[in-house]
Amino acid sequence: MKRIGLIGIVFTLLTSFQLENKNYEYRYLPNENFETGRELEYIVRFGWVNAGTAKISTDKDIHEVNGRPCYKVDVYGNSKGILDFIIKIRNQWGTYIDTSAFISHGFYRYILEDNYKKNERVHFDHQRKLAIVERLDEDTRALVDTAKFEIPDNIQDMVSSYYYLTTLDFDKIEQGDTISVDAFFDDEVYKFKVRFLGREALKTKLGTFNTLVLAPVLPKNSVFDGGNAIEIWLSDDKSKIPLKIKADLLLGAIEIDIKNLEKG
């Protein structure tokens, strides 16, 4: 009888927990900016050297994660030319973004930077407020171990954070204002902050665009030079396409400029 009673208690607790999860309410952010099947290609320069390429690819299909419809976005970065002889870079980051809540349900990264390799997948369980990190083998990507970390509501990853910014109405944000986003990266929750520097016209290979200029707020470090060491130019329209990124390093500047845009 005692055993039956214990099982009954456990079953009741589990049932209550499941009912509580089913009542979890996701936020809703109205957004008509996202375009599936879109590919953006970039040229990466270090000083005057053509150092690599980058691509942002949005899958044409909607994926289901955590029972929610999601956009799937992949970001690729590869070195080329002289830089490829110095340090071989083959990086891929990916995210699954809730189509209405604009939060991350999953994140993965496969990193190859010369002798440094890191492969991992992160599953965000918003109902239990957990990030479940799957650490993968450097070569085979087979599962090595898992770890769990507490997360706040509406968590983002390093890729989905940008897409959250596209939902904001910058007509209601003043120049100099700072936007804060909770983002999970490297087993930690960061208060990712971005400063709105204002608007300016930007000339690109695809023409001249009116843009929104943003600068991530960086802590003191030994890599970047200055308070606005990274600047990002987004098209000042409903799509908010990243057109240019400039990073001032202590060893020089890296510029990432849009080369091509294809819509699905």
Q: What is the DSSP string of 205-238?
A: TTEEEEEEEEEE-PPS-SSB-STT-EEEEEESSS
Looking at the predicted structure, is the pLDDT value of residue 5 above 70?
no
Within-domain flag for 10: no
At residue 49 the predicted structure's pLDDT band, cuts being 50, 70 and 90, is confident
pLDDT of amino acid 44: 95
Q: Are 54 and 75 in contact (CB under 8 A)?
A: yes
Within-domain flag for 4: no
Within-domain flag for 46: yes
The structure's pTM equals 0.86
Within-domain flag for 6: no
257: left (phi over 0), alpha (psi -120 to 50) or beta: beta
Within-domain flag for 8: no
* Segments forming the whole domain that contains residue 171: 26-262
Question: How many domains in the chain?
Answer: 1
Point out the least confidently predicted range of 12-16, 82-86, 129-133, 229-233: 12-16
Point out the least confidently predicted range of 37-51, 119-133, 137-151: 37-51
Within-domain flag for 100: yes
- Interval 88-111: pLDDT, tens: 999 999 999 999 999 999 999 999
Within-domain flag for 177: yes
pLDDT of amino acid 22: 54
Residue type at 148 in one-letter notation: K
Within-domain flag for 233: yes
